[in-house]
Amino acid sequence: MTQPLKLRVAALAAEARDVMRVELAATDGAPLPPFEPGAHLTLQLPAGLARQYSLVNDWREQHRYVLGVGLAGESRGGSQWVHASLRVGAELTATGPANNFPLDPDAQSFLFIAGGIGITPLLSMVRWCEARGRAWRMVYAARSRVRLAFYEELRAFGRKVRWHCDDEHERPLDVRALMQEVEPGTQVYCCGPGPLMTAVQEAGAHLPPETLHFEWFSAPAAPADAHGGDGFWIDLKRSGTSLHVPPERSVLEVLKDHGHELPFSCREGLCGTCETTVCEGEPDHRDYVYSPAQREGLRTMLICVSRAKSPRLTLDL
Ligand code: FES
């Protein structure tokens, strides 16, 4: 794991309704570690909360990180604290940057589909495309115009950005029509609320899966275990013990219950921190880090959400 970063809040601004722009700099003024378009930072917040936020600024900047923090309706405390309590000059610890949503550097054409606060990772991608002279366009959907974050910056790109406000159109974005227009060879990057991303997945089912990329901000409801209601067993290779994982507990929780100190952060299969090597057995991957193609033959799993297709899994622990 990378060394924690000591950061200071350099600026705060309201970016749209319920979206705060947070600008961070190193407390010692040193250049910050570089990042790639699509990368995120994990902020350590009070009460042991760790939250991932995408970096929206130009990936070549090393004097600051800029985040857009949306106030989640069902906030589990992270975004609520940022909106209510964070002040300019406050110091924060962060880890990263890390990137689970990398841009294909060889692609020539991109379609970005953003919903609400899902604009954040896509904004740094747009900057990269502009700098590299790649063809791109964006469709940005929000419930209303006041919720379009980074509006002024995006407006400068003119007709490359198509706006969709649900209240003005009196209906949600027509995802089916949008996906039918996708030209062969275009890489599609989508980030937004679960229903938008699910709609893009379904309407894009005719496209090669490797051309569709998603960044999930929160995990949808998990399906039941492959073995029905009994859960499964994990065998720990190095410690020689076996533990039962019931349906209502994650592998990570069971291991913690039994005294194993393991790294973790989001606990939703979004950040990759809890990645663990699988020696035997077939994992049931439920994370949002690996694409279906990357999961083929993958011998690791994210134990905060992933489960087992086989009755037992042997983990390198
Ligand atoms: Fe984030 Fe498991 S803790 S993926």
- Please state the domain extents for the chain: 5-98, 109-216, 232-315
Count the Cβ atoms, other than its own, within 10 Å of residue 208: 11
**C-beta of 39 in contact with ligand 1 (< 6 A):** no
% of the chain with per-residue pLDDT over 90 = 66
Ligand 1: nearest atom to the Cα of 264: 3
CA of 264 to the centre of ligand 1 (A): 5
**C-beta of 304 in contact with ligand 1 (< 6 A):** yes
CA angle 16/11/88 to nearest 5° reads 115
Q: Mean of the pLDDT values across residues 69-94?
A: 84
The CATH-assigned architecture of domain 232-315 is Roll (3.10)
Q: Tell me, what's the pLDDT at 160?
A: 97
CA of 79 to the centre of ligand 1 (A): 18
CA of 157 to the centre of ligand 1 (A): 35
> For residues 245 and 312, what is the distance between their CA atoms, to the nearest angstrom?
10
**C-beta of 267 in contact with ligand 1 (< 6 A):** yes
* pLDDT band with cut points at 50, 70 and 90 for residue 229: low
CA of 173 to the centre of ligand 1 (A): 31
* pLDDT band with cut points at 50, 70 and 90 for residue 269: confident
Which amino acid, residue 139?
V
Q: What is the pTM of this model?
A: 0.74
* pLDDT band with cut points at 50, 70 and 90 for residue 33: very high
- Topology given in CATH for the domain delimited by 109-216: Rossmann fold (3.40.50)
- Topology given in CATH for the domain delimited by 5-98: Elongation Factor Tu (Ef-tu); domain 3 (2.40.30)
Ligand 1: nearest atom to the Cα of 275: 2
Q: Tell me, what's the pLDDT at 48?
A: 73
Cβ partners under 8 Å of residue 18, min gap 6: 70, 71, 83, 147
> For residues 149 and 117, what is the distance between their CA atoms, to the nearest angstrom?
7
- Answer yes or no: is pLDDT of 233 > 60: yes
Q: Mean of the pLDDT values across residues 60-79?
A: 84
